[in-house]
Structure 1
Amino acid sequence: MLSAAALTVGVDVGGTSVRAGVVDADGAVLDTARAPTPRAEAALEATVARVIGELAGRHPVEAAGLALAGFITPDRRGVRFAPHLSWRDAPVADRIAARTGLPVVVEHDANAAALAELHFGAAAGAPPPSTTVFVALGTGIGAALLIDGVLFRGAHGVAPELGHLRVVPGGRPCPCGKAGCWERYCSGTALATTAVEMIAREPGLSPALRRLVVDDPGRITGRRVAAAARDGDPLACAAVADLARWLGEGLALVADVFDPELVVIGGGVAASAPLFLDDAREHYASRLTGAGRRPLARIRTAQLGEDAAVVGAARLAREAG
């Protein structure tokens, strides 16, 4: 592990942008850099190295961590598959280290965010023994499992893929190749899909959202549906209620498997948690096996927002350095 005074860089490598930050030992982000995400593999690696180098030119950083959505090798050196990036069975850590001259570690973005929340956010201070599940609601669902403060990655480094639990056999198709996955009913994408389906059934219920669909169905986004729900739009409120129900259903399944003491809800959709979290808690409590005769997990929203993956990746770099 690096010294307490060392600075590290965390990089959130997303499908549209690469966000990097210099992070100190207390989890504070001191400086940032950003660039669009290139499609080609070599250009992607050059971009990641460039944003790290930009920050290293302004601060005495000693290591870097990368966070991304994908299958990471157990040694956290390589990327087996990343659906929104060009890496396939690539030794990413070694390549970026060669370009930057810094030690580099790679981690799943949900794992990185969960680690950040453990040390600096919503899961801080949980005494062992403890089991914490982190659920990131965004385009899909990312998830992480912390057992006594240690990330659980499974035998091959890909656990836990909670977003692809099948909750509706033969349901909505999922990019993973299955149908009816939890994230198809409980995510920002799911919120938009539900709204579009409701508009098709009851077009007069939300004239404002219906106009968007007529012009271009792609203009209906989870963010716009949430905004409409905050304004009291009845159809948007119904779509959010549906998301709350599926969040509760899924969390009950997760609790039956892991029996967590704490569930942390993060990701972009968590910004709208006041619209749905209380209802989701009620659905979770009613659907849990042995409901009323066993302790319920505490369900909290994440505290670090979009910085979570950056902070967590930087923390991992500190621990691995």
Structure 2
Amino acid sequence: MRLGTIDGVDSAGPLTVGVDIGGTSIWASVVDGDGQVLDSAHAPTPHSADALERGVERAVRELAHRHDVAAVGLAVAGFIDSDRTTVRFAPHLPWVDASVARSLGERLGLPIVLEHDANAAAWAECHFGAAAGGHNVVIVAIGTGIGAALLIDGRLYRGSFGVAPELGHLQVVPDGRACPCGKLGCWERYCSGTALVETALELLAADPSASTVLARDVAVDPGALTGRRIAAAAEDGDPLALATFADFAKWLGVGLATVADVFDPDLIVICGGVGSSAPLFLDAAREHYARLVTGSGHRPLARVRHTLLGEAAGMIGAADLARASVSDPPGDR
């Protein structure tokens, strides 16, 4: 295919599409070789496997109708096999042992590459964003749940079977909140967009007389409460929302201390949908992390940075990995 052109200017390499498939939304973007997003499409995440595949197909076709694209990368919130062609399991998605790359490739007539969404975000942050210059880097992608990625000397570490590191499902509370993965007390059940809602409801249940904007929202429609609504209320000074984010920051610090104990990274990057609200929690989380890490006060601490690419990181990384698959010989991806 031709190199993509925008306003008559060649992009740095072929244009590719990156699709970030999360538990609530599908975002697809055309991305050039410099990591720039040129065009996007968006849709809710369907609840059946076939509908999800058709939803991705529609989003890619919409973009391919407007741009000449060479390949598609999918950033998936789930376990990807070592060949990056099959979704083994995804706690928030309907795909189970699904040969997504083959099926979508047949539908679209384009090469398809799968990647764990946090790995895709890590790749993008390493090449275009906040992880540039890091030696050993942990990416924590906070959205519907928690995704995580590990870069060692700039190389993605996927483990022996392609599923590492599943940090969101480390148990932080024995017999704690139930998780869709089947366990209890997983980190993401206390530190995610879903966790924000559950914490806010628990705090409200503990003090039903609380007079706050969120309390009034819940009284009108309990199902309308979302992480974004809580963030907006916190920015406006709502006390229940601020207490919710204080709890969130505590659990983020707990998890980061565990991550540092295991991996001893020099850099941790926070990204994902909830990451866009970092001013509400990141400083407090850093304090909890610095206090809780083993050897506190007697060891160097990893820098904890906020994403430079925002919610587009997964799409940009998936698109770049897809570009590498059609442009370059296999390397340190």
Q: Is the 8 A contact 1:199 1:206 kept in 2?
A: no
Q: From 94, 104, 108, give the equivalent of 2:102.
A: 94
Q: What does 1:128-139 align with in structure 2 at a 5 Å threshold? A: 130-139=135-144
Matched, 1:314 2:326: no
- Structure 1 distance, partners of 2:224, 2:62, is 35
Shift of 1:36: 4.1
Show the counterpart of 1:10. 18
Matched, 1:294 2:302: no
Name the SS for the 1:107 alignment partner.
Answer: strand
Matched, 1:147 2:155: no
Shift of 1:213: 2.7
Matched, 1:59 2:64: no
Going from structure 1 to structure 2, the CA distance change for 1:302 and 1:176 (only over 3 Å counts) comes to same
Shift of 1:261: 0.6
- Which deviates more from structure 2 when the two are superposed, residues 231-240 or residues 20-29? 231-240
Summarize deviations over 1:174-201 as a string: whole Å, max 9, x none. Answer: 1111111111111122122122111122
Q: Number of residue pairs matched?
A: 317
Name the SS for the 2:19 alignment partner.
Answer: strand
Percent of counterpart pairs with the same letter?
66
- Structure 2 distance, partners of 1:48, 1:71, is 18
Going from structure 1 to structure 2, the CA distance change for 1:183 and 1:43 (only over 3 Å counts) comes to closer
- Structure 2 distance, partners of 1:179, 1:83, is 14
Name the SS for the 1:205 alignment partner.
Answer: coil
* Structure 1 residue runs without a partner (length 5+): none
Going from structure 1 to structure 2, the CA distance change for 1:210 and 1:34 (only over 3 Å counts) comes to closer
Matched, 1:239 2:247: no
Q: From 83, 93, 104, give the equivalent of 2:91.
A: 83
Q: Is the 8 A contact 1:132 1:261 kept in 2?
A: yes
- Structure 2 distance, partners of 1:16, 1:304, is 20
Shift of 1:86: 3.0
Going from structure 1 to structure 2, the CA distance change for 1:295 and 1:84 (only over 3 Å counts) comes to same
- Structure 1 distance, partners of 2:15, 2:192, is 34
Matched, 1:47 2:52: no
Summarize deviations over 1:192-214 as a string: whole Å, max 9, x none. Answer: 21221111222333333222333
Summarize deviations over 1:131-187 as a string: whole Å, max 9, x none. Answer: 111111112111111111111111111111111111110111111111111111111
- Structure 2 distance, partners of 1:257, 1:58, is 46
- Which deviates more from structure 2 when the two are superposed, residues 82-91 or residues 166-175? 82-91
- Which deviates more from structure 2 when the two are superposed, residues 292-301 or residues 145-154? 145-154
Q: Is the 8 A contact 1:21 1:33 kept in 2?
A: yes
Matched, 1:114 2:119: no
User: Normalization by structure 2: what TM-score?
Assistant: 0.89
- Structure 1 distance, partners of 2:164, 2:87, is 14
- Structure 2 distance, partners of 1:34, 1:207, is 33
Shift of 1:220: 2.7
User: Normalization by structure 1: what TM-score?
Assistant: 0.93
